[in-house]
Structure 1
Amino acid sequence: MGPITDHASKDSDAQSILCKIVNQIALITLNRPSRLNALTPEMREAYLETLDRADRDADVRAIVVTGAGRAFCAGADLTALEGLDAAKMRSRMQDQKVPFDRALRLGKPLIAAVNGAVAGIGMAHVLMADIRFAAPEARFTTAFARLGLTAEGGTAWLLTRLVGTARAMDMLCSSRMVGAEEAERIGLVQWIVPADELLDRALAYAVVLAGNSAYSLARMREQVYSAWEQDWPSAYEHSQQFVYESLDRPEFTELAARRKAERESRAADASTASA
């Protein structure tokens, strides 16, 4: 597959989804800063297709997503909700080429660099990342209750598993803004990073992951998300089957040989130094 190129939605502002490859990392940028990266249907579809292409690209080992400007994603573009009813929404979802939950089905790690405000359906996309870095300016709100909607895009399911039932209910029912420090404290994000370092730190972390076995990363991601709905015996048996499979793969043999060579080299250096 060739290199991933920028995707453009029908938004007139600019190309609303950008993607470039940096050190085997696909950097995806929601690029509609004049509207706080609010998602139009075309923009959402372009984002999902970009995720899909990055996942299928053998040259990509991890994916980072961020927002342009001062927001990550302000949710759905409210103009796209005007005149929308259940029938139109069902039709729109059925016509999508890539399923909305594609992020949960990736074979590669997905890292969100949350540079600013996140609301509504933007929350669902952040929650589907494996790792979340946030700038101090980041703010998180589900927003659905203020719009007369329910938790869209699996937000309730995802949020509950990250922060627990009580905190998820608070965030969903109040639609209050949660700041970066609180988000870190309750486990919604893993790290707060100064805004001018945010993207570099997220990319550097992604490069570390890219240096690990792609097979291991894909299988562990599958283990984590499938285990959410498994009992302990099933999860344990699932994990053991993957272990047996991994022992027969070339990555294990190659990495074991590399570690042995490194140990022997260190031992030889130590012996020379003591002589």
Structure 2
Amino acid sequence: MSEYQYINYTISNRVATIALNTPKSLNALHQKLRLELIELVQRIEQDDEVRVVVLTGEGEGFCAGADLTEGMPGHDNFVDQCAAEYTPWLMAIHNSSKLYIAAVNGAAAGVGSAAVMNCDLIVMADNAFLYQAFSAIGLIPDGGASWLLLQKMGYQRAMEMAVDAGRLTAQQCLELGIANKIVPAEQLREQTQAWAEQLAAGAPLAQTALKKIMRSASSMTYAEVVDEEAREQSKLLVSEDSAQAIKAFFAKQKPQFKGR
């Protein structure tokens, strides 16, 4: 049984699953849920037994976005609320040394869509979709959604999505390169878990280095990326994991990565 009130949290075969668990509101993010997310993603980062994280939602939807019924309890404005309750978990995922996979069931709306696009990999159920609901209620994308849409779609299509309160089906997300895979809705958890376990058996030091580089490469020059790759590769080449994996390669054996 999960120790969190609004999140189902489990670990299996070095894969942690964060399942938002307020299905009656389509997992809308209220304050207590946001605070649980902050605590949990920070905890996961310190857990060496976890190598890959799956983020999903219980019930019929991934996340309906922010819970607009509760206002901004404890805060005078959204700037303060965002800094205290949204930025910490969004940036913890962005900067994490571990791979995050979004397993998208049903709707991922508002900041829920930002949470999806902020993950490193995305698996979508065939009935899932991303919804930029903000302009329909007189708001703009938040949670970094403007940056994420721009990175993934280019200016014109990102602007269209934002001003038209647009939706992207799973198939459209796949075609645009936003989603990695589409699977039958009833197989979403099973297939995502299988992929996550496959990745968790891989080289964690290399995955961490690769995520670090790819998250920053778009703001760097080609030469800077070449240099950064060399610095990370230099550290990996002297790691125990790399030495063991090279021996296993020549012996035609499967390497066992220890993360050191």
Report the TM-score, using the length of structure 2 for normalisation: 0.91
Residue 89 of structure 1 corresponds to 78
- Give the letter for the 1:234 counterpart: E
Query: Match of 1:229?
Result: 219
- Are the counterparts in 1 of residues 57 and 63 from structure 2 also a CA contact under 8 Å? yes
**Structure 2 partner of 1:45:** 35
Give the letter aligned to residue 187 of structure 2. Answer: E
CA displacement at 1:86 relative to structure 2: 8.2
Q: Which has the larger radius of gyration?
A: 1
Deviation at 1:85, TM superposition (A): 11
Once the two structures are superposed, what CA deviation does each residue of 1:139-193 show, in whole Å capped at 9, x if it has no partner? 2111111122222011111111122222211111111222211121112211110
Q: Is the 8 A contact 1:45 1:98 kept in 2?
A: no
Residue 7 of structure 1 contacts residue 46 of structure 1 at CA under 8 Å; is this kept in 2? Answer: no
2:25 matched residue in structure 1: 35
Partner of 2:194: 204
Structure 1 window deviating more from structure 2 (91-100 vs 50-59): it is: 91-100
Q: Which residue of 2 aligns with 1:6?
A: 2
Query: Is residue 57 of structure 1 aligned with residue 53 of structure 2?
Result: no
Structure 1 pair 131/262, CA: closer, same or farther in 2 (3 Å)?
A: same
Q: Which runs of 5+ in 2 are unaligned?
A: 254-260
**Kindly tell me: are residues 86 and 98 of structure 1, through their superposed partners in 2, closer, same or farther at Cα, counting changes over 3 Å?**
closer
Asked if residue 245 in structure 1 is aligned to residue 235 in structure 2, the reply is yes
1:114 partner letter: V
Q: Name the amino acid aligned to 1:182.
A: Q
Where do residues 141-160 of structure 1 align in structure 2 (5 Å cutoff)? 141-160=131-150
CA distance in 2, matches of 1:86, 1:163: 34
Partner SS, residue 118 of structure 1: strand
**26-35 or 46-55, which moves further after superposition?**
46-55
User: What is the identity, as a one-letter code, of the residue corresponding to 1:167?
Assistant: R
Farther off after superposition, 158-167 or 253-262? 158-167
Determine the C-alpha separation between the residues in 2 that align with 1:235 and 1:87. 42
- Paired letter, 1:124: A
After TM superposition, the structure 1 = structure 2 runs for residues 136-215 of structure 1, keeping only pairs within 5 Å, are 136-215=126-205
Query: 1:47 is aligned with what amino acid?
Result: L
Listed as ranges, the matches of 1:54-133 within 5 Å are 54-81=44-71, 87-96=76-85, 98-133=88-123
Distance of 1:152 and 1:20 partners within structure 2: 29
Is the 8 Å Cα contact of residues 51 and 102 (structure 1) preserved in structure 2? Answer: yes
Distance 1:32 1:174, change over 3 A: same
Computed over aligned residues only, the root mean square deviation of the Cα atoms, in angstroms, reads 1.9
Percent identity at matched positions? Answer: 30
